[in-house]
Amino acid sequence: MKKLVVLTGAGISAESGIPTFRDAGGLWEGYRVEDVATPEAWQRNPALVLDFYNQRRKRALQAEPNQGHRILAELEAYYDVTVVTQNVDNLHERAGSSHVIHLHGSLFEARSSVDESLIYPVNGWEMKLGETCAKGSQLRPNIVWFGEPVPRMEEAIAYAAKADVFLVVGTSLVVYPAASLLYYTRHNIPRFLIDPNIPDTPAMPHFTCIADKASSGLARIKPRLIEIA
């Protein structure tokens, strides 16, 4: 089976009712990222940060995967598919994708604030102050905050470098290093991008760009992807 690698961003979950970040004028659900999604924010006001992610988790639990997520799962019948997502929701998994790399972490995991190897599942929507890891420190969301290293980037690069077909869906390609994944793919492979706003990056001339929403764009190119599988 050929290898299909898909980089997804907040745009693929937009039709599930989870707002993207940049479409909202640089605010994330009304918050500035510096106030809720950085290590400094956590030091300053852990209660606010926990509450912010509790609300995101509640919203993600209420959402359902959309046709875009489902088509990526269906493509597993034709390809060995790896989804590399910048999203912290779990809609790819709930749609049936079996190999998902969460570059920026997951809403449904907590981790120790002193030892990043101590990771725990989050059941339900709420994390609270006072919940601690085995070493006694406060649990934080297992999310890669702005300014933090991206531990799974090397693994994602290894998959991108071996891709036979590469697809990008619903990302503005402004968050690094995630956006640099495009530059690790081999030059002679078919590459596609689906987004209502085609990002203005130097890689775009090497992509077949489809200016469309994730669900309808993926429905449009699914036959082509099956044809070249």
Stretch that binds ligand NAD, among 18-26, 46-54, 131-139, 183-191 (CB under 6 A): 18-26
State the minimum distance, in angstroms, from the CB of residue 174 to ligand NAD.
Answer: 6
Q: Residue 111 and residue 138: Cα distance in Å, rounded?
A: 9
Main-chain dihedrals φ then ψ at residue 69, nearest 5 degrees: -60, -40
Main-chain dihedrals φ then ψ at residue 107, nearest 5 degrees: -65, -20
Stretch that binds ligand NAD, among 7-15, 42-50, 118-126, 157-165 (CB under 6 A): 7-15
Q: Which two tokens stand for residue 104?
A: 């920026």
Q: Is residue 174 near ligand NAD by the rule CB under 6 A?
A: yes
State the minimum distance, in angstroms, from the CB of residue 91 to ligand NAD.
Answer: 7
Q: Which two tokens stand for residue 55?
A: 């609300």
3-state secondary structure at position 165: strand
Asked if 104 is an active-site residue, the reply is: yes
# binding residues, ligand NAD (CB under 6 A):
27
Q: Residue 137 and residue 139: Cα distance in Å, rounded?
A: 6
CA 214 to chain centre: 14
CA 158 to chain centre: 17
Among 4, 6, 18, 165, the residue binding ligand NAD under the rule CB under 6 A is 18
State the minimum distance, in angstroms, from the CB of residue 121 to ligand NAD.
Answer: 17
Give the footprint of ligand NAD on this chain (CB under 6 A).
Answer: 9-15, 18, 20-23, 86-89, 104, 170-172, 174-175, 195-197, 213-214
Catalytic residues, by residue number, are 104
